Structure 1
């Protein structure tokens, strides 16, 4: 970005000099001045200024997006989950439905290291009913939010940044290294998680467990 600014400054100075020479030649009608070369030099300088201004703007936007992502992940990293299962990313009824939809994928999700931290934004207490033989489902929904006001504040901020209505239910998916890999409005795409994430045992086990390379 420093070099972009240097090139912009150099091009601007060159444009100023070329413009001055061109105007001076027109006023004095000095035939000794090659107007064609002056115009060519001016065009090159202006093109350089435009190009490096565009590159600088693009780099600055990427930098701001990176800082926003880091800030989001830092805030999320300060949140804590634990204890028994809680809610989801919306009202209690949404959380309960998300729980029901995860039932058929529970075993494969647990094999991929997925754990749900549920949070019901309306404060409704959601009770999950686990049937016989649904130990994997119980492990999947074993966590709930700790310090609910912090979770609510962080979630409200993210919805404002994304222009999502406050009442809309949302989900956020993290990689095992804590980075955000996806988010959206509505129910978590359990089937997509199963398709995208590798199992954390067997052939795919190791340092990259649960990290499919997707980072937003």
Structure 2
């Protein structure tokens, strides 16, 4: 962007010089033969200024958008989460540890998302996924776990997948409402947001989270690929 400004300044200076030369040539019939060459040079200068001004403007907007995105993600990372109704920690504590999926909607939306995730429980945990459900209507559902002896292991995994809860509801509500407003999404619409291992937003959408897509797209966090693909969960 520094070089864009330098080229704009150079082109503008060249344009001013060419303009003064053109005025002098037009005022002096003896220099009429120079006019086409001067006009050509002036056109090049004007075109150069226009091109580099466009490039500067484009990169400046992209930079501002990136800064705004990072600011929103940093604000998200500072929101608090309650772990299993005991420990309260900031969301950024999960960077490099878990891929959080944030759900926001009425209690019925949370309950249905819970049911839809059941077939993918083990595979989601293998990929480091943990869910943060936020009930916008204050009607948080009671999750029903199968406590039978033969389902002990699966129930333990289900509880682990759904062990996180938002803390300081007003801050969470404020942040989510801001994101909906920026995305032109109705404040009443249920939404989901998935985060990468590095804490950045990987994707989001209206409606139920695509558990099957998460399983298909995300690499496991254990095994031979552990570490190598940390954070490489798709572009943001």
Aligned counterparts of 2:235 and 2:79: Cα–Cα separation in 1: 19
Decide which of 180, 187, 194 is 2:201's aligned counterpart. Answer: 180
Deviation of 1:126 after TM superposition, in Å, equals 1.4
Residue by residue, what CA displacement relative to the aligned partner does 1:77-125 show, whole Å, maximum 9, x if unpaired? Answer: 111212348x931111111111111111111000100000110111112
Residue by residue, what CA displacement relative to the aligned partner does 1:19-41 show, whole Å, maximum 9, x if unpaired? Answer: 23223322333336511211111
Deviation of 1:60 after TM superposition, in Å, equals 0.4
1:21 aligns with 2:30: no
Aligned counterparts of 1:162 and 1:208: Cα–Cα separation in 2: 29
Aligned counterparts of 1:127 and 1:30: Cα–Cα separation in 2: 93
Deviation of 1:179 after TM superposition, in Å, equals 1.3
Match of 1:91 in 2: 106
Aligned counterparts of 1:205 and 1:6: Cα–Cα separation in 2: 46
What secondary structure, in the 3-state scheme, does the structure 1 residue paired with 2:8 have? helix
Contact 2:218 2:233 in 1 (8 A): no
Match of 1:190 in 2: 211
Q: 1:121 to 1:149 in 2, by over 3 A?
A: same
Deviation of 1:185 after TM superposition, in Å, equals 1.4
Deviates more, 1:197-206 or 1:29-38: 29-38
Which is richer in strand?
A: 2
What secondary structure, in the 3-state scheme, does the structure 1 residue paired with 2:130 have? coil
Q: 1:32 to 1:26 in 2, by over 3 A?
A: closer
Decide which of 130, 136, 160 is 1:115's aligned counterpart. Answer: 130
Given the two structures, how large is their TM-score scaled by the length of structure 2?
A: 0.84
Contact 1:12 1:45 in 2 (8 A): yes
What secondary structure, in the 3-state scheme, does the structure 2 residue paired with 1:13 have? helix
Contact 1:4 1:52 in 2 (8 A): yes
Matches for 1:1-150 after TM superposition, within 5 Å: 1-31=1-31, 33-84=33-84, 88-131=103-146, 132=148, 133=151, 134-150=155-171
1:151 aligns with 2:172: yes
C-alpha root-mean-square deviation of aligned residues, in Å? 1.8
Gaps of 5+ in 1: none
Q: 1:114 to 1:213 in 2, by over 3 A?
A: closer
Gaps of 5+ in 2: 86-101
Deviates more, 1:67-76 or 1:135-144: 135-144
Aligned counterparts of 1:169 and 1:215: Cα–Cα separation in 2: 23
What secondary structure, in the 3-state scheme, does the structure 2 residue paired with 1:34 have? helix
Aligned counterparts of 2:81 and 2:123: Cα–Cα separation in 1: 22
Given the two structures, how large is their TM-score scaled by the length of structure 1?
A: 0.92
